Structure 1
Amino acid sequence: MGVRSRLGALFKGPEEFDLTSGGIGKPLFFLSMPIVVTNLFQTAYNLADTFWLGQYSTDALAAISFAFPMVFLLISLGMGISVAGSVLVAQYTGAGEEREAEYAASQTVTFAVTASVLLGGIGYFLVEDFLGLMGASDDVLPLASSYMEVISLGLLFMFGFAVFISLMRGYGDTITPMLVMFGSVVLNIVLDPFLIFGWGPFPRLGIEGAAIATVFSRALALFVGLAIMFRGTRGVEINLRDMAPDFTYLRRLLRIGLPASVEGTGRALSMNLLLFIVALFPDAVVAAYGIGTRVFSVVFLPAIAVARGVETMTGQNIGAAKPDRADRAAGLAATVLFAVLTGAGVLVWLLAAPIADVFTTDPAVVDIAAGFLRYVALTFGFIGIMRAYTGSFRGAGKTLTAAAISVLMLGLVRFPIAWVAAGEIGETGIWLSFAVSNVVGAAVAYAWYRRGTWREGDLTESRVDLDDPSTSTSAGGD
């Protein structure tokens, strides 16, 4: 009972707090905390794959490093539909339009399945060309291709589970996805060595075994998520009668979701473009870059989680016609994240060398990685500001604004500075591009948010009259 009571004190479901009334800090905390844990589970899964493949062979480890940007790119291309679904579910939930929220969720699942099948098919046939373009060596290319072929065929399950998380978050339930993610990650970690090394009755599949473990665990998680949503006992409910493709509704999903896909795809492409610049330097610099970006991915977990919480709170309060409350939530999140991440940045600045030393025994790599961390660490807080306000933009349905800020930060500030400065002052120019773009991104997001153009969400334009027999949606009505 002691453990259960402590967990209950830390994680509260949407039935225990109201996102549209009362205080701001407590519901935002309880909404965001499970997202932090969910992201940590995802990180644990990535580390487990890296560990087991590292034990298998160096080429397999290099192959998964090449495969990850392609996985990220495929999911980013389709993520707009899940973002749109989350935004609409949040807004309709805040407005008390339960039937509309169900319809939005059901249509999101339908078109997400369609998009994932199409993207998976395209990815399957373009795997080798893409990885070759990325510079995979002759030894690594076959391994990376076999891994990505399995992932592409199973993209439906990976993307479908992400949609489940988004729809539940839009409703305000972040605990259920956390628990399902936990089961999925444990299963993946357990399956990895059996399928990679051929333990027991399993064949020795190598890197393909890691991909199969990932797809299988995500497939099982998706089936659990669908069962939860069809039952409707926790979070938003979906119904078969609402899942017939409604192409009028698809246009609404695309209007909100397409900019979110552009934002995610822009992030994925920026990762790959920066790799081209980094690859011009010696291997020690490439290794240091990898260490730095891994550290950043862990440090920024709270910012990502809180931004998702702000997205949901903004959506529900826009739906409830309470934009001032949404404004307060974004402001509080920006302030807290700036303080927390700045504190984390100070610690990383002070402990840069010991942190780098955890990842490598090469003194040259430690020295370069420590320099990278020190250049960027004191700007961590600005990432918190940008994430908080872009999360609020997305929650209001202004995904184009969020995408524009991201593209500005990555494509017009970070990449050009890295390209030019790297030629003038070496790898330090790349580190400097991260620091400058973090500050510029925060300043632009704050200034844009203060204009107040986010206050009118997309709820009215996206509403469907489910009781009107003349509409296409009535065919599956109550």
Structure 2
Amino acid sequence: MNFFKGQEELELTEGNIVKPLIYLSLPIVVTNLMQTAYNLADTFWLGQYSTEALAAISFGFPMVFLLISLGMGLSVAGSVLVAQHTGADETEQAEYAASQTVSFAFIASVILGAVGYPFVRPFLDFLGASPEVLPGATAYMQVIALGLPFMFGFFVFISLMRGAGDTITPMFVMGGTVVLNVILDPFLINGWNIGPLAVPELGIEGAAIATVFSRSVAMLVGLAIMLAGNRGIQINLEDMRPDFEYLRKILQIGIPASIEGTGRALSINALLIIVGLFPTTVVAAYGIGTRVFSVIFLPAIAVARGVETMTGQNIGAGKYDRAAKANYVAAKGLFVVLALAGVLIFLIPTPIVAVFTNDPEVLAEGATFLRYVALSFGFIGIMRAFTGGLRGAGKTMVAAVISIVTLAGIRLPVAYVASQFRLQIPFVPTDAIFGVRGIWIAFFISNVSGAIIAYLWFSQDTWRDGDVRGTPSQGAVDSDDGDAAISDD
């Protein structure tokens, strides 16, 4: 059985819901797994290099997320527009949307990198990086800031191809470049000196160079594919001249998505300030835990992106009930899969953490972190599914509100209060003192709360007016039940 269906074999607006969703999402899982391998390779080799280097990348990763999140709204907007135009069989409009997205994404990433570079050290210092960690984290982030256009360019390629329903091509492109990164990491981090061939020991800076170089190769390959137009979506040089009138449409969708990504990134960075109040071993354990989560949550992220595409294409085709069904099916499936994964992690956390470190204190705290959060994994799947559907419907502001409320409104205050203060809890005979455990508890509470909020919001059906193409959809018929689809307001 071929589990990887090409774009021409997928029908997202007709027939069965589950099969096309799986075929669309599975390559995204593989792509994201390989993308996560960048971070895991860095974490592994830097963990062998020193605990300080491991802690440094724990500070660096949230800032990478912040820089990318500031510009990610453009790629989300491009994906939604391409999906809805594709679903409506509007090929020229889809290509124009993709071409404009590439142009403005490149401009935005250059500006973000240039503006972010001088603020790297002050920002990391503000986050609470210790004197022994700050130099390494700064060196890592300065390289990333300079390479941001290359890193962000590949994310845009993935998003646009996904909007057109092609998730296979990005998977293969990522496969080649991740191998390149894994090969480069140990040589650039530890150095290499054999005969006339010598590579200096660059430490954490070497990990950043390997990542940027590998992703720059991926970006160039992705641009070549889109210019050729043989797979997924095509971009045209004549359509890439910046159209600032069209930019308004992109920003209407993209700004809320950037707010979501930035709010998520700022919340992670703010949480790191709280984590930084504890010893370096706790910071390192936090870094390992979040990277483990990045692997475990791959199915949720992939299915959410698949739902985003299916929702967008079905809304473009006027099939709103089919779009809704895709969301509910995805939420149920992800809950089951991630809940089972959570039970497994809960039972055997220590061997997982041991892959990244042999420091006994980091090992113990990392295992505790995983055990506290693991049983909430299923709820992450529910939230991701529904927020993906909301983005596909063009309701990027709603998805942003859900994310920010969950992370900034629930996780942050719970983490700070529970880790820093004595708490009077009913039926507990004495004041509870959680310490760092309070941070881990906050993850559990916010994950469950986010799922409930996302489900309640999606079930209100306010997303059904989310046709963002700017073309009338009055009178479109949903073939699932024959009822007239809700018109575009």
- In 2 relative to 1, CA 129–82 (structure 1 residues): closer, same or farther, beyond 3 Å? same
1:429 aligns with 2:425: no
1:208 aligns with 2:201: no
Report the counterpart of residue 90 of structure 1 in structure 2.
83
Aligned equivalent of 1:406, options 389, 403, 406:
403
Q: State the Cα deviation string for residues 286-316 of structure 1 (Å, max 9, x = none).
A: 4443343233222111101100000000000
AA at the equivalent of 1:50: T
Once residues 59 and 361 of structure 1 are traced to their aligned partners in structure 2, the CA distance between those partners, rounded to angstroms, is 14
AA at the equivalent of 1:351: I
Once residues 199 and 165 of structure 1 are traced to their aligned partners in structure 2, the CA distance between those partners, rounded to angstroms, is 37
Report the counterpart of residue 304 of structure 1 in structure 2.
301
Report the counterpart of residue 464 of structure 2 in structure 1.
455
Report the counterpart of residue 245 of structure 1 in structure 2.
242
CA contact (8 A) 2:55 2:284 kept: no
Matches within 5 A, 1:119-130: 119-130=112-123
Q: Give the superposition deviation at 1:202.
A: 4.6
- In 2 relative to 1, CA 412–45 (structure 1 residues): closer, same or farther, beyond 3 Å? same
AA at the equivalent of 2:437: T
Q: State the Cα deviation string for residues 137-171 of structure 1 (Å, max 9, x = none).
A: 33433333233222211111100011000000000
- The alignment's TM-score, normalised by the length of structure 1, stands at 0.90
Once residues 163 and 454 of structure 2 are traced to their aligned partners in structure 1, the CA distance between those partners, rounded to angstroms, is 22
AA at the equivalent of 1:384: G
Instruction: Name stretches of at least 5 consecutive residues in structure 1 with no aligned partner.
Output: 1-5, 464-478
Deviates more, 1:377-386 or 1:326-335: 377-386
Once residues 355 and 199 of structure 2 are traced to their aligned partners in structure 1, the CA distance between those partners, rounded to angstroms, is 34
Q: Give the superposition deviation at 1:23.
A: 0.3
Q: Give the superposition deviation at 1:203.
A: 3.4
Aligned equivalent of 1:155, options 142, 148, 151:
148
Once residues 257 and 231 of structure 2 are traced to their aligned partners in structure 1, the CA distance between those partners, rounded to angstroms, is 26
- In 2 relative to 1, CA 208–418 (structure 1 residues): closer, same or farther, beyond 3 Å? closer
AA at the equivalent of 2:144: I
Once residues 413 and 47 of structure 1 are traced to their aligned partners in structure 2, the CA distance between those partners, rounded to angstroms, is 28
Q: Give the superposition deviation at 1:63.
A: 3.0
Q: State the Cα deviation string for residues 178-227 of structure 1 (Å, max 9, x = none).
A: 10011111111222233331445353150333322222221111111111
Report the counterpart of residue 190 of structure 1 in structure 2.
183
1:137 aligns with 2:133: no
Q: Give the superposition deviation at 1:47.
A: 2.0
Q: SS of 1:130's equivalent?
A: helix
Q: Give the superposition deviation at 1:455.
A: 1.1
Q: Give the superposition deviation at 1:284.
A: 4.7
Once residues 153 and 362 of structure 1 are traced to their aligned partners in structure 2, the CA distance between those partners, rounded to angstroms, is 33
- In 2 relative to 1, CA 255–281 (structure 1 residues): closer, same or farther, beyond 3 Å? same
1:397 aligns with 2:394: yes
Q: SS of 2:470's equivalent?
A: helix
Report the counterpart of residue 475 of structure 1 in structure 2.
none
Q: Give the superposition deviation at 1:440.
A: 1.2
Once residues 240 and 409 of structure 1 are traced to their aligned partners in structure 2, the CA distance between those partners, rounded to angstroms, is 41
Once residues 198 and 371 of structure 1 are traced to their aligned partners in structure 2, the CA distance between those partners, rounded to angstroms, is 37
Report the counterpart of residue 471 of structure 1 in structure 2.
none
Once residues 353 and 184 of structure 2 are traced to their aligned partners in structure 1, the CA distance between those partners, rounded to angstroms, is 30
Q: State the Cα deviation string for residues 427-449 of structure 1 (Å, max 9, x = none).
A: 23222211111111111111111
Q: SS of 1:21's equivalent?
A: coil
Q: Give the superposition deviation at 1:351.
A: 2.4
Once residues 234 and 257 of structure 2 are traced to their aligned partners in structure 1, the CA distance between those partners, rounded to angstroms, is 24
Report the counterpart of residue 253 of structure 2 in structure 1.
256
- In 2 relative to 1, CA 105–202 (structure 1 residues): closer, same or farther, beyond 3 Å? farther
1:15 aligns with 2:24: no
Report the counterpart of residue 290 of structure 1 in structure 2.
287
Q: Which of the pair is proportionally richer in helix?
A: 1
Once residues 376 and 55 of structure 1 are traced to their aligned partners in structure 2, the CA distance between those partners, rounded to angstroms, is 26
Aligned equivalent of 1:277, options 260, 274, 279:
274
CA contact (8 A) 2:39 2:291 kept: no
Deviates more, 1:402-411 or 1:357-366: 357-366
Aligned equivalent of 1:444, options 423, 448, 453:
453
Deviates more, 1:228-237 or 1:344-353: 344-353
1:333 aligns with 2:330: yes
1:347 aligns with 2:350: no
AA at the equivalent of 2:199: P
Once residues 415 and 139 of structure 2 are traced to their aligned partners in structure 1, the CA distance between those partners, rounded to angstroms, is 33
Once residues 291 and 390 of structure 2 are traced to their aligned partners in structure 1, the CA distance between those partners, rounded to angstroms, is 27
Q: State the Cα deviation string for residues 68-122 of structure 1 (Å, max 9, x = none).
A: 2211110010000000000000000000000000000000001001000000101
For this pair of structures, how many residues does the alignment match?
456
Q: Give the superposition deviation at 1:60.
A: 3.6
Aligned equivalent of 1:170, options 157, 163, 175:
163
CA contact (8 A) 1:13 1:175 kept: yes
AA at the equivalent of 1:373: L
CA contact (8 A) 1:92 1:459 kept: no
Q: SS of 1:277's equivalent?
A: helix
AA at the equivalent of 1:449: F
CA contact (8 A) 2:58 2:284 kept: no
Once residues 90 and 130 of structure 1 are traced to their aligned partners in structure 2, the CA distance between those partners, rounded to angstroms, is 37
Report the counterpart of residue 105 of structure 1 in structure 2.
98
- The alignment's TM-score, normalised by the length of structure 2, stands at 0.88
Q: SS of 2:199's equivalent?
A: coil
Instruction: Name stretches of at least 5 consecutive residues in structure 2 with no aligned partner.
Output: 423-432, 473-489
CA contact (8 A) 1:171 1:236 kept: yes
CA contact (8 A) 1:192 1:210 kept: yes
Once residues 358 and 331 of structure 1 are traced to their aligned partners in structure 2, the CA distance between those partners, rounded to angstroms, is 36
Q: State the Cα deviation string for residues 220-253 of structure 1 (Å, max 9, x = none).
A: 1111111100110000000011111111111111
AA at the equivalent of 2:4: F
Q: SS of 1:459's equivalent?
A: coil
Aligned equivalent of 1:235, options 232, 235, 240:
232
Once residues 137 and 365 of structure 1 are traced to their aligned partners in structure 2, the CA distance between those partners, rounded to angstroms, is 17
